[in-house]
């Protein structure tokens, strides 16, 4: 206690070298956005964004990404629980397989989905023959599956970390007091886990919103069903309509930024216990 | 030297590059194949291409309009539309009119891509207005969906049928009045770029293109 302030005093000033590297890092990440914004035709932005095709792509994006996030939560939560609470042989392998889509090029995911769920794929063939399930190409269901494939790991990894940080004594105390398994889960585990679940769901939603490669490869490009904003942006860019591509990019960046800022303040910041990061005050 | 060429030119330009390299051992030809629209967008944005071969004039004109071409575009090949189905033809497709069937999974090129523009014109001529299940950004992406059996039918170029191997069959469309003429232009000032363009237009280049099913413009 006594020598703490003295040893802290010289460290008050962050090293210049670190600051400079940090500034370079921010520049590398932010420069493309600045480049995009300075090319944005702000005066015609409203007109471009108001076009029927843009609104349609926005609608598909919102529907597909929300459904993908919902699917990620519905399937990812039990998986996160298994990974966090059960120890079994091959758990490390399962976790690696689950996280693989985070580092895989999404187009690889799209091709792989074909060989699994395509009409002639491993499972798809059976679904096709037995249940008459037709193709997923050009269907919103296909786009949701592609988006969930790449976004679910973001939920699983966040939820699993949350489960691991949970104090197990709270759960055992509840069951000692006579609460059944489901009551403990419903009244203790899930409420305590809520911030992690919200953060994971939001992260996977943001990832699904930006999904491109797996979607166009597996679900194809169909206006109103699978043509999300990223697909519409790529198409406009290649069609020699950079203005439309820029306008839709600004829209997508805006939405994604809002999600991430919301994530930072509402769910992550209050949980951290850094002395200078009190809730409510925004770090700048 | 880097040559940007339309996806439909893949096999033909691989042969062209090999023959050009053996005639000019000091030149290393690198090939970049994609949908013409994507290549045009990349070149307009400053990609380091030396030669651009597009699948139609409209896409080439976007690069010309950006002032990115070093020589005026010259037409070097002609291609027509083909209707391909998986070899077992699960959708029993016998002609363009079958494509209106909503239960059929149809893959076409996006209207912005040359093969999509051609497909649109041909379908309009035939009075068929199908709702395609997917609009791909390259003709070879259409072919892949048919090769995998994920699409029941696809509209590609006649020259693409061979690339589908024994996994696809083409459905005869009768005499075709519509076609795409392919222009080529040097993008950089390098001597090899203009030389390669001359090679494509010359007798050896034309012979190779003919052997891959292209017609002369």
pLDDT tens per residue across span B2-42: 999 999 999 999 999 999 999 999 999 999 999 999 999 99
Q: Please indicate, yes or no, if residue A43 is contained in any of the structural domains.
A: no
Looking at residue A281, its pLDDT comes to 41
Query: Per-residue confidence at A135, pLDDT binned at 50, 70, 90?
Result: confident
Same domain, B158 and B91: yes
Q: Is residue A18 part of a domain?
A: no
The boundaries of the domain holding residue A87 are 52-104+135-269
Interatomic CA distance for residues B84 and B167, integer angstroms: 10
Which of chain A's residues have a Cβ under 8 Å away from the Cβ of B35? Answer: 238
Per the domain annotation, does B143 fall within a domain? yes
Q: B217 lies in a domain?
A: no
B134 by DSSP, 3-state: which? Answer: strand
Residue-level pLDDT at B19? 96
The pLDDT tens digits of the residues spanning B118-163 come to 999 999 999 999 999 999 988 999 999 999 999 999 999 999 998 8
Please give the structure tokens belonging to residue A153: 């790991």
In a domain, A165, yes or no: yes
The better pLDDT of the pair B79, B45 is held by B79
Residues A142-163: what's their mean pLDDT?
Answer: 96
Establish if A153 belongs to a structural domain. yes
Per-residue pLDDT, A10: 58
The dihedral of CA B44, B46, B49, B51: what is its sign?
positive
pLDDT band (50, 70, 90) for residue B60: very high
For the stretch B165-175, pLDDT in tens is: 899 999 999 88
Query: Quick check: A222 and B133 CB within 8 A?
Result: yes
User: Measured between alpha carbons, how far is B198 from B203 in angstroms, rounded to an integer?
Assistant: 10
Residue A156 has pLDDT above 90, yes or no: yes
Q: Give the domain CATH number at B6.
A: 3.40.190.10
Is B126 contained in some domain?
A: yes
What CATH number does residue A72 fall under? 1.10.3720.10
Same domain (yes/no): B30, B106: no
Report how many domains make up chain B: 2
B193 located within any domain: yes
Please count the structural domains in chain A.
Answer: 1
Closest residue in B to A124 (Cα–Cα): B150
In a domain, A19, yes or no: no
Kindly tell me if the per-residue pLDDT of A55 is higher than 70. yes
Q: Residues B165, B197: one domain?
A: no
Residue B176 lies in a domain: no
Residue B148 forms part of a structural domain: yes
8 Å CB contact between B180 and B121: no
The whole-angstrom distance between A254's CA and the closest CA on chain B is: 24
A-B contacts at Cβ under 8 angstroms? 69
Smallest Cα distance from A228 to chain B, Å = 13
Asked if the model's pLDDT at residue A134 lies above 90, the reply is: no
Contact list in B for residue A234 (CB cut-off 8 A) is: 137
Average pLDDT rounded to a whole number, residues A260-268? 69
Claim to verify: residue B105 and residue B68 sit in the same structural domain: no
Query: Does B87 share its domain with B69?
Result: no
* Cα(A270)–Cα(B89) distance, integer angstroms: 60
DSSP letters spanning chain A: --SHHHHHGGGGSPPHHHHHHHHHHHHHHHHHHHHHHHH--HHHHHHHHHSHHHHHHHHHHHHHHHHHHHHHHHHHHHHHHHHHH---TTHHHHHHHHHHHHHS-HHHHHHHHHHHHSTTSTTHHHHHHHH-----TT-HHHHHHHHHHHHHHHHHHHHHHHHHHS-HHHHHHHHHTT--HHHHIIIIIHHHHHHHHHHHHHHHHHHHHT--HHIIIII---TTTT--HHHHHHHHHHTT-HHHHHHHHHHHHHHHHHHHHHIIIIIIGGG---TT--TTSPP-
Using a CB-CB distance cutoff of 8 angstroms, which residues of chain B are in contact with residue A240?
Answer: 37, 40-41, 44, 62, 112
Selected for mutation to probe chain B from A232, A238, A242, A243 (highest B CB count within 10 Å) is A238
Residue A57 lies in a domain: yes
Chain A residues touching residue B151 (CB < 8 angstroms): 135, 137
Question: For the segment B62-106, what is each residue's pLDDT rounded down to a tens digit?
Answer: 999 999 999 999 999 999 999 999 999 999 999 999 999 988 999
With respect to residue B71, please indicate whether it lies within any of the assigned structural domains: yes
Chain A positions with Cβ closer than 8 Å to B = 114, 118-120, 134-135, 137-138, 216, 219-223, 226, 234-235, 237-240, 242
Q: Residue A157 and residue A146: Cα distance in Å, rounded?
A: 19
B44 and B14 together in one domain: yes
Looking at the structure, do residues B67 and B97 belong to the same domain, yes or no?
Answer: no
* Mean pLDDT of all residues in A152-161: 96
B167 part of a folded domain: yes
Q: Which residues of A touch B137 (CB under 8 A)?
A: 216, 221, 234-235, 238
Per-residue model confidence (pLDDT) at position A267? 53
Q: Choose the closest CB to A238 out of B107, B132, B137.
A: B137
Q: What is the pTM of this model?
A: 0.84
Same domain, B86 and B156: yes
Domain boundaries, position B40: 2-78+181-211
């Amino acid at each position: 206690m006594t020598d703490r302030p003295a040893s802290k005093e010289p460290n008050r000033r962050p090293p210049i070298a670190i600051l400079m590297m940090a500034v370079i890092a921010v520049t590398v990440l932010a420069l493309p956005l600045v480049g995009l914004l300075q090319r944005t035709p702000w005066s015609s932005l409203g007109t471009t964004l108001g076009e029927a095709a843009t609104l349609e792509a926005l609608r598909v994006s919102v529907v597909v990404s929300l459904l993908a996030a919902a699917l990620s939560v519905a399937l990812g939560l039990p998986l996160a629980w298994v990974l966090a609470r059960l120890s079994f042989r091959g758990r490390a392998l399962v976790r690696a397989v689950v996280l693989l889509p985070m580092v895989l090029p999404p187009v690889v995911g799209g091709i792989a989905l074909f060989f699994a769920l395509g009409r002639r794929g491993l499972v798809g063939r059976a679904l096709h023959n037995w249940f008459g399930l037709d193709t997923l190409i050009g269907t919103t269901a296909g786009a949701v599956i592609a988006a969930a494939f790449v976004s679910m790991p973001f939920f699983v990894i966040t939820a699993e970390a949350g489960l691991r940080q949970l104090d197990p004594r709270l759960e055992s105390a509840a069951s000692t007091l006579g609460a059944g398994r489901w009551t403990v889960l419903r009244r203790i585990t899930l409420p305590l886990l809520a911030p992690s679940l919200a953060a994971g769901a939001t992260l996977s939603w943001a990832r699904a919103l930006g999904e491109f490669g797996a979607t166009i490869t597996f679900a194809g490009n169909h206006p109103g069903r699978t043509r999300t904003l990223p697909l519409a942006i790529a198409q406009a860019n290649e069609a020699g309509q950079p203005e439309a591509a820029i306008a839709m990019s600004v829209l997508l960046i805006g939405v994604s930024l809002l999600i991430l800022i919301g994530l930072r303040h509402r769910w992550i910041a209050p949980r951290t216990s850094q002395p200078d990061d009190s809730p409510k005050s925004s770090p700048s | 030297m880097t040559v940007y060429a339309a996806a439909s030119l893949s096999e033909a330009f691989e042969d062209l590059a090999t023959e050009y390299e053996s005639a000019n051992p000091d030149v290393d030809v690198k090939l970049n194949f994609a949908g013409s629209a994507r290549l045009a967008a990349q070149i307009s944005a400053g990609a380091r291409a030396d030669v651009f071969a597009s699948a139609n004039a409209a896409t080439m004109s976007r690069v010309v309009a950006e002032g990115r071409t070093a020589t005026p575009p010259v037409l070097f090949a002609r291609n027509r539309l083909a209707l391909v189905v998986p070899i077992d033809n699960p959708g029993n497709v016998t002609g363009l009119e079958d494509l209106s069937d909503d239960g059929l999974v149809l893959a076409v090129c996006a209207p912005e891509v040359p093969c999509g523009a051609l497909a649109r014109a041909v379908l309009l001529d035939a009075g068929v207005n199908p709702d395609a299940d997917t609009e791909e950004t390259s003709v070879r992406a259409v072919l892949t969906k048919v090769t995998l059996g994920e699409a029941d039918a696809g509209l590609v170029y006649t020259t693409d049928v061979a690339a589908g191997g024994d996994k696809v069959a083409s459905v005869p469309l009768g005499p075709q009045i519509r076609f795409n003429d392919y222009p080529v232009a040097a993008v950089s000032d390098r001597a090899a770029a203009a030389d390669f363009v001359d090679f494509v237009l010359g007798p050896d280049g034309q012979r190779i293109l003919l052997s891959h099913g292209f017609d002369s413009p």
